[in-house]
Amino acid sequence: MNETMANNKGGQDAAAEQLLELLRGRGLTFCAAESCTGGLINQRLTAIPGSSDVVEGGVVSYSNNVKMRLLGVSAEALLAYGAVSVQVAAQMADGVRRATGADIAVSVTGIAGPGGGSAEKPVGTVCFGIATASGVRSLKKQFDSTLQRDAIRWLASELAIALAAEAAKEGAENA
């Protein structure tokens, strides 16, 4: 565990606090669909008192079955691209936003390790989705495959929170 993780687990989570402030200031709500982070994004946000005014909820969608049934991810996308893909991340974000009615949704699907990687998708491959009223976008990030599982999960949650903050900064008219 790195020093930042230790400090944040001690009650100081600047990224999560900043996101909550941005959401409140713009009258926006948030939700997340999480696979490899296993609920870490929502845990970080809901650990802060008063977060219930902007956090609508989320779905931990570790299995493809839950991705399809609860988030509306298509079997075709899962078959064609795999669960760890920008296509599936986009569908996850869109699905959780529709399910919760939140203004901003993020999704995370990836390979945190230590196993499960391949030559095409090594450990540390993480895909993100962000959905707002103006649309859905997604991106892929390759974290260092030598990092420990918890570090990859933490870094993925950091980037997801940053993506949500970026969407909130774009303003209520875009969310």
Residue with tokens 């988030």: 71
Q: Are 126 and 141 in contact (CB under 8 A)?
A: yes
The answer to the question of residue 108 being in a domain is yes
Residue 12 has a pLDDT of 78
The answer to the question of residue 42 being in a domain is yes
pTM over 0.75: yes
Mean pLDDT estimate for the chain:
93
The answer to the question of residue 6 being in a domain is no
The answer to the question of residue 5 being in a domain is no
User: 58-67 long-range CB contacts below 8 Å, 24 or more apart?
Assistant: 58/31, 58/32, 58/33, 58/34, 58/96, 58/100, 59/32, 59/33, 59/34, 59/96, 59/99, 60/34, 60/35, 61/33, 61/34, 61/35, 61/92, 62/35, 62/38, 67/35, 67/91, 67/92
The answer to the question of residue 161 being in a domain is yes
Q: What is the DSSP code string of 46-114? A: HTSTTGGGTEEEEEE--SHHHHHHHH---HHHHHHH-SSSHHHHHHHHHHHHHHH--SEEEEEEE--SS
Q: What is the pLDDT along the chain (175 residues), one digit of tens a residue?
A: 444 454 445 557 999 999 999 999 999 999 999 999 999 999 999 999 999 999 999 999 999 999 999 999 999 999 999 999 999 999 999 999 999 999 999 999 999 999 999 999 999 999 999 999 999 999 999 999 999 999 999 999 999 999 999 999 986 444 4
The answer to the question of residue 8 being in a domain is no
Give the residue numbers spanning the domain of 17.
Answer: 13-167
The answer to the question of residue 3 being in a domain is no
The answer to the question of residue 36 being in a domain is yes
SS3 144: coil
Of 67, 64, 54, which Cα lies nearest the Cα of 27? 54
Residue 1 has a pLDDT of 41
- Overall domain count for the chain: 1
Q: The CATH number of the domain where 57 resides is what? A: 3.90.950.20
